[in-house]
C-alpha cells in the first residue's frame, strides 16, 4: 500500500491508558491503515517523530466554539470540539443542524480546523418558546420544547445541555429537565449540565444530576466540575464520593474539568437569578426598583466566593468600559469613584450590568477555586479534560488562559512536573474517555481503521504558555497535528490545510 503519510520513530500513546510503545503509523484516505513496530511501503510524505509522542488528537467535550478554523485549539493538539454547552446550543446560531452544516443557502460547508460537533441547548430552546420568563412552562410550551429537542437529536446532536445557573435555565425545575432529557431515550445521546450551583450548593447539584438520570433514564455528564468559593473548599470530597457510589451502582455519570483555579462567565452571575429575567429594559428597571435587595445578594456572593477580595475578579471584556479589559473589580470600583471594598465592588458591578445587561457584554475571570481541589478532581479516573473555551483570534480581548493552554497544561504541569498522573492516563482523559462519552467509535484511539486524527508532541517540551496576565500565547512542544489524514499543523505552524468535519451522532 502507498500511504499518504507515514510516521516513523514514534513513541505511541494510544489513548487507552496502556503503556506507551515504540512504533510507526501509516495513513491513507483519512484513516489509520497500519499501526506496527515498523510500517513498510511507499508514502507520499514521511514524518520522523524521533523523540516525540504520537497520540490521538485531543477531543474537547466542553467548548463554545464557532464552526471555524479555531487555531487556538489546533495549536493545543485538539482535533475535535463539542460545542453548544451550558444550555446555549446551536439554536443560538441557527435553529437546525442542517443550516450549520452549510446545506442551506449557498451550499458551501464552512472551513473548519478541528472536527465540529453540537449539543441541543436548553437555554436556547427555552428562549425560543418562553423568552426569558421566570416560570414553569405550560403544557403546550413543554410540548413545543420537547419537539425541538427531539428534532435536534434526530438531526444528529450529541446530546442535550443545560446551564442551570444562567437565565433562563435557572428558572426551570428539575421536573422540566427530566421531561426534556427523556427525548434522549433510545439514542447514544447524553445529558450534560453546567449545574445549578457550583459553590455552596454543589453537593445538592450533583444529587440533582443523579435525580435527572433516574427520572430520564439517560446518561448524565457534569460539565467543568469544580467547587467555587473559598468558603466551600473541600466539598469535592463529597461530590466525587457521590459519583463513585453512583457508578458502582451502574449509573452512567461522567464529568469533565479544566485544569485551572479560576472560572470564567458573565458578570451577571454575581446577581441573583431572578434579577436577570426578561429583556435589557426589564433588567434595568429591576436594578432600579429592587437595587437594595439585589445588592445584598451580590455582597453575599463576594464574601462567599472571594472573601471580599475584589482582585479575584478580572474583566475579560467590558462593553460599557472597554479599558477595564484585563483589570480587576477593584480597578473598576476606583474608576467609578468608589472605595475598592465589598460595597464599592457590588455597587460597581450592578452599574456595569445596568449599562449593558446583554448576556456576554461583560465577562469576568473569577479566582475562587483551590489548587488542591483541582488536583483531587483531576485524579479521579473518570474525569475528562475539557477547556470550556471558545474560538478566539490572537490578541483579541483578555480571555481566560484555558482557551490556549488546557491540554498542554495537563501533560506538562500535572503529569510531567507534579507527577499526579501517568502521561498515558493524562492522554486517556483527553482522547478515549471523551470519545466514549460522545459515542465516537472511530476517534480517540490509535488503532487501525480509526480516523486519522493525530497529535505529535515532545513530552519534555510540551508546555502551556498562556497566563492570566498574558493569555494570548500558544503552547510549545506540539509539532504536528493531523485532522482526518490532512497535515494541519507542521512544526508548530498552521499549514492552511484545514480538514475538520461536521460530526453527527451515530446510534449504531
DSSP state of 234: T
**Using CA atoms, how far apart are residues 61 and 122, in angstroms rounded to an integer?**
17
Whole-prediction pTM: 0.95
Residue 304: Cβ within 10 Å count: 17
pLDDT at 105: 42
Place of cell 501517568: 422
Which region among 95-104, 360-369, 455-464 has the lowest average model confidence (pLDDT)? 95-104
Q: Please answer whether residues 88 and 124 qualify as being in contact, where contact means their C-beta atoms are separated by less than 8 angstroms.
A: yes
State the pLDDT at residue 199: 96
What is the per-residue pLDDT for 388? Answer: 97
Task: Give the E-state strand segments of 150-228 in sequence order.
Answer: 159-163, 190-194, 220-222
- Residue 3 has a CB neighbour count (10 Å cut-off) of 22
Give burial (CB, 10 Å; 0-12/13-18/19+) of 26.
buried
What pLDDT shows up at residue 100?
Answer: 57
Measured CA to CA, the distance from residue 31 to residue 233 in angstroms comes to: 45
pLDDT digits (tens, 9 = 90+) for 341-400: 999 999 999 999 999 999 889 999 999 999 999 999 999 999 999 999 999 999 998 999
Closest CA to 493 of 481, 504, 483: 481
Largest CA distance in the chain: 76
What mean pLDDT value characterizes the chain? 95
Contact by Cβ (8 Å): 115, 453: yes
pLDDT value at 101 more than 60: no
93 band by pLDDT with thresholds 50, 70 and 90? very low
Q: Are the C-beta atoms of residues 401 and 466 closer than 8 Å to each other?
A: yes
Residue 92 has pLDDT above 60, yes or no: no
**Cα separation of 34 and 399, whole Å?**
41
Cβ neighbours of 342 (radius 10 Å): 19
Handedness of CA 10, 13, 14, 19 (dihedral sign): positive
pLDDT digit string, tens, across residues 399-446: 999 999 999 999 999 999 999 999 999 999 999 999 999 999 999 999
Q: Identify the CA nearest to 428 among candidates 409, 416, 446, 412.
A: 446
What is the structure's pLDDT at 109?
67
**What is the pLDDT at residue 104?**
42
Dig out the grid coordinates for 493 from the structure: 505552524
Q: Which domains does the chain have, with CATH numbers?
A: 58-261+370-420 (3.20.20.140), 266-367 (no CATH)
pLDDT at 89: 83
Q: Say whether pLDDT at 473 is over 70.
A: yes
- Centre a 10 Å sphere on the Cβ of residue 424 and count the other Cβ atoms it contains: 18
CA torsion sign for 65, 92, 354, 229 is: negative
For residue 270, the tally of other CB atoms under 10 A from its CB is 26
Q: Element (H or E) spanning 264, and its range?
A: strand 262-266
- CA dist 206 and 233 (Å) reads 16
Q: Which residues contact 60 (CB under 8 A, 6 or more apart)?
A: 73, 78, 80, 81, 82, 114, 385, 386, 387, 389, 406, 407, 434
C-alpha neighbours within 13 Å on the C-beta side of residue 368: 29
- pLDDT score, position 107: 53
∠ CA 413-422-448, nearest 5°, is 115
DSSP run (H or E) holding 213: helix 202-216
- Give the three-class secondary structure for 384: strand
The sign one gets for the Cα dihedral 310, 316, 319, 324 is: positive
Distances (CA, A) of 234 to 241, 286, 288: 12, 36, 38
Question: Which DSSP helix (H) or strand (E) runs through 287?
Answer: helix 280-289
Rounded Cα distance between 407 and 81, Å, is 13
C-alpha to C-alpha distances, 228 to 112, 351, 487, 503, nearest whole angstrom = 34, 24, 40, 33
Closest CA to 411 of 467, 476, 483, 480: 476
Give me the percent of the chain exceeding a pLDDT of 70.
Answer: 96
Dihedral sign computed on CA atoms, order 239, 401, 109, 384: negative
d(CA 444, CA 435): 5
Give, in order, the Cα–Cα distances in Å from 395 to each of 18, 491, 498.
39, 22, 22
What are the φ/ψ torsions at residue 63 (nearest 5 degrees)? -135, 170
Distance CA 292, CA 297 (A): 9
Distance CA 6, CA 135 (A): 59
Amino acid at each position: 500500500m502507498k500511504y499518504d503519510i507515514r510516521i516513523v520513530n514514534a513513541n505511541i500513546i494510544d489513548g487507552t491508558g496502556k503503556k506507551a510503545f515504540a512504533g510507526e503509523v501509516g495513513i491513507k484516505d483519512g484513516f489509520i491503515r497500519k499501526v506496527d513496530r515498523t510500517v513498510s511501503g511507499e508514502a507520499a510524505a514521511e514524518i520522523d517523530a524521533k523523540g516525540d509522542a504520537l497520540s490521538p488528537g485531543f477531543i474537547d467535550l466542553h467548548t463554545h466554539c464557532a464552526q471555524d478554523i479555531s487555531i487556538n485549539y489546533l495549536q493545543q493538539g485538539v482535533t475535535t470540539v463539542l460545542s453548544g454547552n451550558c444550555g446555549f446550543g446551536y439554536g443560538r446560531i441557527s435553529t437546525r443542524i442542517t443550516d450549520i452544516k452549510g446545506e442551506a443557502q449557498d451550499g458551501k460547508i464552512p472551513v473548519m480546523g478541528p472536527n465540529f460537533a453540537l449539543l441541543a441547548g436548553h437555554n436556547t430552546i427555552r428562549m425560543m418558546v418562553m423568552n426569558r420568563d421566570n416560570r414553569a412552562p405550560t403544557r403546550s410550551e413543554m410540548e413545543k420544547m420537547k419537539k425541538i429537542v427531539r428534532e435536534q437529536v434526530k438531526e444528529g446532536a450529541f446530546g442535550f445541555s443545560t446551564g442551570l445557573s444562567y437565565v433562563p435555565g435557572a428558572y426551570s425545575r428539575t421536573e422540566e429537565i427530566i421531561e426534556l432529557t427523556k427525548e434522549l431515550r433510545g439514542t447514544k445521546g447524553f445529558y450534560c449540565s453546567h449545574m445549578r450551583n457550583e459553590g455552596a450548593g454543589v453537593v445538592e447539584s450533583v444529587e440533582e444530576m443523579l435525580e435527572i438520570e433516574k427520572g430520564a433514564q439517560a446518561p448524565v455528564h457534569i460539565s467543568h466540575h469544580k467547587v467555587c468559593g473559598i468558603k466551600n473548599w473541600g466539598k469535592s470530597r463529597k461530590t466525587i464520593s457521590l459519583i463513585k457510589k453512583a457508578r458502582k451502582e451502574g449509573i452512567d455519570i461522567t464529568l469533565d474539568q479544566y485544569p485551572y483555579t479560576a472560572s470564567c462567565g458573565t458578570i451577571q452571575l454575581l446577581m441573583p437569578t431572578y434579577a436577570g429575567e426578561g429583556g435589557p429594559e426589564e433588567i434595568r428597571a429591576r436594578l432600579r426598583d429592587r437595587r437594595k435587595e439585589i445588592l445584598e445578594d451580590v455582597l453575599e456572593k463576594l464574601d462567599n466566593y472571594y472573601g471580599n477580595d475584589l482582585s479575584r475578579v478580572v474583566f475579560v471584556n467590558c462593553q460599557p468600559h472597554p479599558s477595564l479589559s484585563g483589570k480587576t473589580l477593584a480597578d473598576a470600583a476606583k474608576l467609578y469613584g468608589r472605595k475598592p471594598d465589598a460595597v464599592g465592588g457590588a455597587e460597581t458591578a450592578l452599574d456595569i450590568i445596568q449599562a449593558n445587561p446583554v448576556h456576554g457584554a461583560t465577562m469576568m475571570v473569577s479566582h475562587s477555586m483551590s489548587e488542591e481541589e483541582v488536583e483531587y478532581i483531576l485524579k479521579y479516573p473518570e474525569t475528562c479534560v475539557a477547556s470550556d473555551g471558545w474560538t478566539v483570534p490572537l490578541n483579541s480581548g483578555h480571555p481566560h488562559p484555558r482557551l490556549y493552554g488546557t491540554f498542554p497544561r495537563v501533560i506538562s504541569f500535572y503529569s510531567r512536573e507534579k507527577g499526579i498522573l501517568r502521561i498515558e492516563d493524562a492522554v486517556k482523559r483527553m482522547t478515549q474517555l471523551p470519545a466514549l462519552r460522545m459515542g465516537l467509535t472511530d476517534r480517540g484511539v490509535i488503532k487501525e481503521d480509526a480516523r486519522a486524527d493525530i497529535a505529535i508532541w515532545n513530552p519534555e517540551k510540551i508546555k502551556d504558555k498562556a497566563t492570566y496576565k498574558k493569555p494570548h500565547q500558544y503552547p510549545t512542544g506540539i509539532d504536528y497535528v493531523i485532522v482526518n489524514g490532512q497535515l494541519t499543523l507542521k512544526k508548530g505552524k498552521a499549514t492552511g490545510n484545514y480538514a475538520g468535519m461536521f460530526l453527527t451522532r451515530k446510534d449504531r
